[in-house]
Amino acid sequence: MHIHILGICGTFMGGLAALAREAGHQVTGCDRGVYPPMSDQLRGLGIELIEGYGPEQLSLKPDLFVVGNVVTRGNPLMEAILDAGLPCTSGPQWLSEQVLRGRHVLAVAGTHGKTTTTAMLAWILEAAGLQPGFLVGGVPANFGVSARLGGHVAPQPRPLFVIEADEYDTAFFDKRSKFVHYQARTAVLNNLEYDHADIFADLQAIETQFHHLVRTVPASGTLVVNAREPALARVLARGAWSRIQRFGCPKEEAGCLRARGEPQSFDVLRGALKVGRVEWSLSGEHNQLNALAAIAAAESVGVSPLQASAALASFESVKRRMECVGTVQLPRGEVKVYDDFAHHPTAIRTTVNGLRRQIDRQAQAGGSPGRVLALFEPRSNTMKLGTMKSQLPWALEEADLAFCHSGGLEWDAAEVLKPMGARARVLASVDELVKAVSAVARPGDHLLCMSNGGFGGVHAKLLQALSVPSD
């Protein structure tokens, strides 16, 4: 089958393209501003990419057009497809019918941590020899690819497939969340907050979509649920028909998986019984909870918490999750530059906190105390709308200095960050931001760049600016 994918350079659609190619399909695709790294990965797989959405692409005569949710009515190629009455479907629907059917799908949902938890779970299953297929919204360092079909290892009754389960809508013609298409047998409900203000009116609307996911899990399946989340408790109160495995209980509770110890070194407990221990390089309480979710999900397909915990010792995280992209050596020490995907205020806060704790731990071990300089751009649709702007001072509370790129915003970032006083600066361009940061950076600083986009190449610009000797 020849499929032509509209919006192919997004992380989900790019992963879908890779799976289709691995399955033997002819794959072509188009996007606006065909861009790396996904464009490089896809071309490396022999997938032809076309810039833009010109209606002349009908001449490719594919058997099916697969439409990403970036495509809207008015898109010239989409209008031509509709006018000609040609067959088309959404990415999640195609994936469900062509890849996921007949598999045990382990779907990881939640406002935060989906990518990292999905990668953790895939690695646990891989370390157990189960050869899972997966589709991750990033590139797990342990695998080096964002998607693969995987194999079937006995005695598993079905091949395993781990997928990042997004609550964003499926396509312009299907406003259900993507994850309702995945037919999950194990569903991880990691956390739930308000987000995606461009498509959801309020938190209750997102809770409804999460309950749609709960309704798709069979009675023989498993719901892995964060016990700390009141929104998830409300979702389950609407009805649940599957086994429930809770994790993250604040105190001892029969059957619930919880952690005892610091995030980088902790025991895994079920009730009062120790069932595993995690020793790894990741930091932050959010990653500790992500680990518990992955361990619980892996247990649903026969991997013991002891095995799963041991596997996490060799987990290498995902690109753009607290990824150190460079170090500049200054006369009296070094400055480190990090890249992170955080964009929701809660994610920004947990990311800053994770780095803060890592630096403090190093200082306690005899290292030099360092500052956290938080650089961020409110780029997501929710943040552009200003829906959560009032939470930004709280999100940046543990940063020593904060630098906001305000380009394209219709609200006053300087006014919003006023409670931070002199610790916050607002710059209209990336170049101005780089100049401001370079002027105050000093040995021992950690520059944490947070955005769900490319941030105008700020990482490379910072490394270059800091490498130039000052007069």
Dihedral in degrees, nearest 10, Cα atoms 61, 64, 70, 72: 80
3-state DSSP call for residue 339?
Answer: strand
3-state DSSP call for residue 67?
Answer: strand
Write the DSSP assignment of 439-452 as a string of letters: HH--TT-EEEEE-S
Q: How far is CA 227 from the centre of its chain?
A: 21
C-beta pairs of 151-154 under 8 Å, 24+ apart in sequence: 153/129
Q: What was the pLDDT predicted at 37?
A: 67
More confident residue, 233 or 327: 233
CA–CA separation, 305 vs 289, rounded Å? 14
Residues 386-397, mean pLDDT to the nearest whole number: 85
Q: Do the domains spanning 2-90 and 323-467 agree at the CATH topology level? A: no
Angle at which helices 114-127 and 285-299 cross, to 10°: 50
What architecture is domain 102-314?
3-Layer(aba) Sandwich (3.40)
Name the residue among 358, 292, 365, 296 with its Cα closest to residue 322.
Answer: 358
CA–CA separation, 106 vs 183, rounded Å? 9
Residue 470 has pLDDT above 70, yes or no: no
CA–CA separation, 83 vs 66, rounded Å? 16
> What number of other Cβ atoms are within 10 A of residue 25's Cβ?
16
pTM score over 0.75: yes
Alpha carbon separation from 343 to 54, 195, 449, 469 (Å, rounded): 32, 10, 10, 32
Residue 471 has pLDDT above 60, yes or no: no
* Burial degree of 309 (CB within 10 A; 0-12, 13-18, 19+): buried
Read off the pLDDT of residues 19-32 as tens digits, 9 standing for 90 and up.
Answer: 999 999 999 999 99
CA–CA separation, 99 vs 26, rounded Å? 15
Give the residues across from 45 on adjacent strands.
none
Structure tokens given for 106: 């382990």
Q: Which residue has the tokens 């030099």?
A: 368
**pLDDT-based confidence at residue 449 (cuts at 50, 70, 90):** very high
Widest pairwise Cα distance in the chain: 69
Residue 331 has pLDDT above 80, yes or no: no
Residues 330-339, mean pLDDT to the nearest whole number: 84
Dihedral (CA of 222, 226, 231, 234) sign? positive
**DSSP 8-state assignment for residue 281:** S
Structure tokens given for 266: 């902790």
More confident residue, 381 or 293: 293
Residues 117-125, mean pLDDT to the nearest whole number: 97
Residues 194-207, mean pLDDT to the nearest whole number: 85
Residue 197 has pLDDT above 80, yes or no: no
Dihedral (CA of 187, 70, 9, 14) sign? positive
Q: Which helix (H) or strand (E) holds 51?
A: strand 48-51
Question: What residue segments make up the domains of the chain, in order of their start?
Answer: 2-90, 102-314, 323-467
More confident residue, 193 or 380: 193
More confident residue, 343 or 389: 389
Q: What was the pLDDT predicted at 367?
A: 66
The angle at the Cα of 185, spanning 183 to 188, to the nearest 5 degrees, equals 100
Read off the pLDDT of residues 270-308 as tens digits, 9 standing for 90 and up.
Answer: 989 999 999 998 878 889 999 999 999 999 999 999 999
End-to-end CA distance of the chain: 62
3-state DSSP call for residue 3?
Answer: strand
Structure tokens given for 282: 């990741």
Residues 105-120, mean pLDDT to the nearest whole number: 93
Structure tokens given for 13: 């659609």
Task: Note whether 184 and 176 are within 8 A (CB).
Answer: no
CA–CA separation, 32 vs 6, rounded Å? 9
Q: What was the pLDDT predicted at 260?
A: 95
CA–CA separation, 423 vs 403, rounded Å? 9
Q: What are phi and psi of 91, to 5 degrees?
A: -60, -50
Q: What was the pLDDT predicted at 130?
A: 97
The CATH topology of domain 323-467 is Protein-Tyrosine Phosphatase; Chain A (3.90.190)
**pLDDT-based confidence at residue 155 (cuts at 50, 70, 90):** confident
- Quote the mean pLDDT of the chain: 91
> What number of other Cβ atoms are within 10 A of residue 429's Cβ?
12
Q: Which CATH number fits domain 2-90: 3.40.50.150, 2.60.40.1180, 1.20.120.160, 3.40.50.720?
A: 3.40.50.720
Q: What was the pLDDT predicted at 281?
A: 84
